[in-house]
Each structure stands twice: as structure tokens, then as C-alpha cells.
């Protein structure tokens, strides 16, 4: 599932071509007229993570490229990907036994001879991208104090971590993993945590996300501790529930009740029970 680091990889791959002019276009997309892209210059590329409420399965991250003054936005599905100077190859035979390589939705050939191939994505034109580096946990401009203030409220930390206003690029996998690694119950109210715990949680989220990006760039997978697991690494039974702010999007959350004990508020009531 593409999450922050996947989309960051998109940005790193495409940024090499910024400033270059499209010399030829290919791909199977019917949604846009690919020939419109001919002779346009790639002026910028940005990542963004938009949560689409109607799609409860996918994080629906997206990225945008500025071509000839307009932005072409790409939404990646669960299997969306982008390649630079190479095509995706079949990893197995299809039902008929053919080794048929995946068909890219769009291929942009640049005057330098390099090309970008986009797979399993939807594309549309838009007027401007929405990416704010101060909320991007991997950006040098990330606003750490604002993020800590958001975490320190009485909302459960698992809601705040997915708030893209403060933590863009932080998706559901990262949320689950860093709460396990910091031994924090997902429904803990941020106001009940010590400042040092909040700092540790934020550091852990940043480190996890940047390590994930590095392993992606090296083509390696990610070792997960709790996400979609039945047992935690210590062998305890893992709990699972769809959690989210009232009226908001509920996201599947896994936690270990032994490693991540519930923190009770002053009144002795947990924000929501463990079932």
C-alpha cells in the first residue's frame, strides 16, 4: 500500500526530470489525452497524501507534476507504482500461461532520452497541488512544535497521528508501528502523556518513516511488528479495531494490550473500551 515513503520515492524519481521537455508520450490512459503532454516542460513535482473518505481500503496517496503551467495529479491505488528509465516486468505468468508485462497508464519520454512510466494510477489535471512542507515529517521545514502541540491535546494519539494537517505522509501502517514501538496504547489521550513520551513518539515516527524510505529506495521490504499481525513480537495476542475520530474515517488499528497498556484518565474511564 503506498504510504508517505512510496510517494516520496515518486517525488525523488520524478524530480530528476524537472526542467525537461516531454519529447514523446505513450501509455494506455483514456482519462486524459496523453498527446496534450507533448512538448510540455516538467516544471515541478510534489507529493501529497489525500485521504479519500469514500475508499476505506486505500490510503489513496497522490502526487502531482506541473506540466506547462498546470498540475497533473496522480492517484495511486494499492498497486500503483512509477519507474524511471525502466518498465515493470511480469513477475509471473497469467492464467493463460503468458508472461505479459504490465501496461503503463502513461509513459513520458524526455528529450534527454530518459523516461518515466506510471502504473495503476488515475490521473487528472488540477490547478494547484496541496503540499505544505511544514507538515511533512520528512521535510527539513517540518514544524515540530506544532505537531507536538497537536499530539498534546485530549484526543487519542492514534487520531492525531493521522491528521494530515500536522503529519502529512504519515499513514496507517506507520501509525500502528510507531505506537507499538513506543509502547503507547492507540487510544491514549495525548494530554496524559509526558512531554518526553510525546517527543519520543514523534522521533520514532520520523525515524521509522525515513528508514522506510531508505529501504524502499534500496528495493528492500519493511519488517512490521504489529500491523496486520495476530501476535506481537513477544508472542502476545494482538487486538484489532477500527478507530477514528467521531464523524471521521475509522482506520483499522492493531495493538498489543500487554506491551501497550491502556492509560486511564483521571476519572478512571478509558476513552473507549478494548471491546
Q: Give contact residues for Zn ion (rule: CB under 5 A).
A: 232, 234, 236, 256, 258-259
**Residue 12 vs 263, nearer CB to Zn ion:** 263
Q: Among 231, 244, 125, which residue's Cα sits nearest to residue 180? A: 231
Shortest distance, CB of residue 134 to Zn ion, whole angstroms? 35
**Residue 212 vs 254, nearer CB to Zn ion:** 254
**Residue 40 vs 158, nearer CB to Zn ion:** 158
DSSP single-letter state for residue 226: S
The torsion angles phi and psi of 71, rounded to 5 degrees, stand at -105, 130
Shortest distance, CB of residue 165 to Zn ion, whole angstroms? 31
Q: Among 46, 216, 22, which residue's Cα sits nearest to residue 114? A: 22
**Residue 116 vs 238, nearer CB to Zn ion:** 238
Shortest distance, CB of residue 50 to Zn ion, whole angstroms? 33
Q: Which helix (H) or strand (E) holds 263?
A: none
State the Cα–Cα distance between residues 106 and 67, nearest whole angstrom. Answer: 14
State the Cα–Cα distance between residues 53 and 250, nearest whole angstrom. Answer: 10
Shortest distance, CB of residue 239 to Zn ion, whole angstroms? 10
Per DSSP, the chain holds a count of helices (H) and strands (E) of: 5, 8
**Residue 124 vs 236, nearer CB to Zn ion:** 236
35: three-class secondary structure by DSSP: helix
Shortest distance, CB of residue 180 to Zn ion, whole angstroms? 8
**Residue 41 vs 183, nearer CB to Zn ion:** 183
Q: Which helix (H) or strand (E) holds 239?
A: strand 239-243
251: three-class secondary structure by DSSP: strand
Shortest distance, CB of residue 232 to Zn ion, whole angstroms? 3
Amino acid at each position: 500500500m503506498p504510504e508517505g515513503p512510496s510517494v516520496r520515492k515518486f517525488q525523488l524519481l520524478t524530480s530528476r526530470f524537472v526542467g525537461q521537455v516531454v519529447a514523446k508520450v505513450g501509455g494506455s490512459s483514456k482519462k486524459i489525452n496523453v498527446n496534450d503532454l507533448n512538448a510540455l516542460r516538467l516544471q515541478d513535482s510534489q507529493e501529497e497524501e489525500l485521504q479519500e473518505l469514500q475508499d476505506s481500503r486505500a490510503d489513496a496517496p497522490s502526487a502531482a507534476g506541473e506540466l506547462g503551467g498546470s498540475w497533473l495529479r496522480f492517484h495511486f491505488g494499492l498497486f500503483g507504482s512509477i519507474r524511471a528509465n525502466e518498465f515493470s516486468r511480469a513477475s509471473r505468468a497469467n492464467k493463460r500461461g503468458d508472461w505479459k508485462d504490465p501496461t503503463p497508464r502513461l509513459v513520458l519520454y524526455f528529450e534527454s532520452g530518459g523516461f518515466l512510466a506510471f502504473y495503476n494510477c488515475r490521473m487528472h489535471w488540477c490547478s494547484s497541488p496541496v503540499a505544505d512542507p511544514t507538515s511533512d515529517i520528512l521535510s527539513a521545514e517540518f514544524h515540530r512544535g506544532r505537531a507536538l502541540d497537536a499530539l498534546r491535546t485530549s484526543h487519542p494519539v492514534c487520531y492525531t497521528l493521522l491528521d494530515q494537517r500536522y503529519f502529512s505522509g504519515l499513514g496507517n501502517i506507520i501509525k500502528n508501528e510507531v505506537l507499538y514501538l513506543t509502547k503507547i496504547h492507540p487510544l491514549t489521550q495525548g494530554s496524559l502523556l509526558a512531554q518526553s513520551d510525546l517527543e519520543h513518539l514523534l522521533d520514532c515516527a520520523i525515524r521509522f518513516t525515513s528508514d522506510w524510505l531508505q529501504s524502499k529506495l534500496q528495493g528492500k521490504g519493511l519488517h512490521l511488528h504489529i500491523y496486520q499481525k495476530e501476535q506481537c513480537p513477544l508472542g502476545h495476542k494482538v487486538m484489532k479495531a477500527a478507530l477514528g475520530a467521531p464523524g471521521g474515517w475509522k482506520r483499522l488499528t492493531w495493538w498489543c494490550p500487554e506491551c501497550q497498556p491502556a492509560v486511564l484518565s483521571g476519572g478512571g474511564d478509558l476513552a473507549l473500551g478494548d471491546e
